Amino acid sequence: MPELFDVVELLVILPDKNLHVGARGAIVERYDDGTYEVEFSDSYGETIALCVLSSEQFLVVWQAKERRWLSASELLAAMVERLSEERQQQVLEFARSLSGR
């Protein structure tokens, strides 16, 4: 479950905010309805957008409480978990093809 101050990465495009997949921000508020306010900043630390997002719209990449970045395998598992069973099977087949190289 996402926590305050976790760093997240967008999984969706937010054209009205000029934010693309992969943009990183920090959770600054958690609401009772299960949504999160995420602050996106530029390289100078200036806020460029505040967005209320559902947890399906982002992936936690840094856990503030544990003070650690998630590993590639943890991120991959979290992403695959969100896919349909059919898509999960396709990812598994792709991974198998990679391991045979």
pLDDT (tens digit per residue) in 16-68: 999 999 999 999 999 999 999 999 999 999 999 999 999 999 999 999 999 99
- Judge if 76 and 58 occupy the same domain: no
Contacts of 61 (CB under 8 A, 6+ apart): 7, 8, 9, 24, 69, 70, 75
- Judge if 20 and 49 occupy the same domain: yes
- Judge if 3 and 28 occupy the same domain: yes
Domain of 88? 71-101
Tell me how many domains the chain contains: 2
- Global confidence as pTM: 0.90
- Provide the 3-class DSSP secondary structure of residue 64: coil
Distance CA 71, CA 79 (A): 12
- Judge if 82 and 46 occupy the same domain: no
- Judge if 6 and 51 occupy the same domain: yes
Distance CA 55, CA 49 (A): 17
- Judge if 24 and 46 occupy the same domain: yes
